[in-house]
Amino acid sequence: MVATNINKPAAQNSLVLKQVLENIQPDSCPHSYNFHLHTIFSDGQLTPSGLMEQAMSIGLKGLAITDHHSVLGYKAAQSWLESTRINSPQTPLPHLWTGVEINGDILGTEVHILGYSFDPEYPGLQPYLQGKTSSGRHYLAENVISTIQKAGGIAVLAHPARYPSPAEMLIPAAVELGIDGVEAYYAYGNPKPWRPSPRQTQQIKQLSEQYGVFFTCGTDTHGLNLRQRI
Mean of the pLDDT values across residues 173-198?
96
Q: Domains, the chain, ranges and CATH? A: 10-217 (3.20.20.140)
Q: What whole-number distance in Å separates Cα of residue 47 and Cα of residue 34?
A: 16
Least confident piece of the model among 1-10, 71-80, 123-132? 1-10
Q: What is the pLDDT at residue 19? A: 96
Give the model confidence (pLDDT) of 26-38 as tens digits: 999 999 999 999 9
List of residues 6+ apart from 10 with CB closer than 8 A: 16, 95, 96, 97
Closest CA to 41 of 79, 87, 8, 11: 79
Split at pLDDT 50, 70, 90, the class of 6 is low
Q: Write the CB contacts of 72 (distance below 8 Å, at least 6 apart in sequence).
A: 41
* Whole-number pLDDT of residue 3: 47
- Whether the pLDDT of residue 5 is over 80: the answer is no
In the prediction, which pLDDT does 202 show? Answer: 97
Instruction: Give the Cβ contact number of residue 25 at 10 Å.
Output: 11
Element (H, E) at 37: strand 33-37
- Please tell me which residue, 7 or 142, carries the higher pLDDT value: 142
DSSP H helices in the chain = 14-21, 28-31, 48-58, 72-87, 141-150, 167-176, 198-211
Cα–Cα distances (Å) from 161 to 98, 99, 151, 167, 208, in that order, read 24, 21, 27, 5, 13
Q: Encode pLDDT of 46-105 as tens digits.
A: 999 999 999 999 999 999 999 999 999 999 999 999 999 999 888 999 999 999 999 999
% of the chain exceeding 70 in pLDDT: 97
Cα three-residue angle 154-160-100, rounded to 5 degrees: 40
For the purposes of burial, counting CB atoms within 10 Å of the CB of 199, is it exposed (0-12), middle (13-18) or buried (19 or more)?
Answer: exposed
The rounded mean pLDDT for the chain is 95
Burial of residue 35 (CB within 10 Å: 0-12, 13-18, 19+) is buried
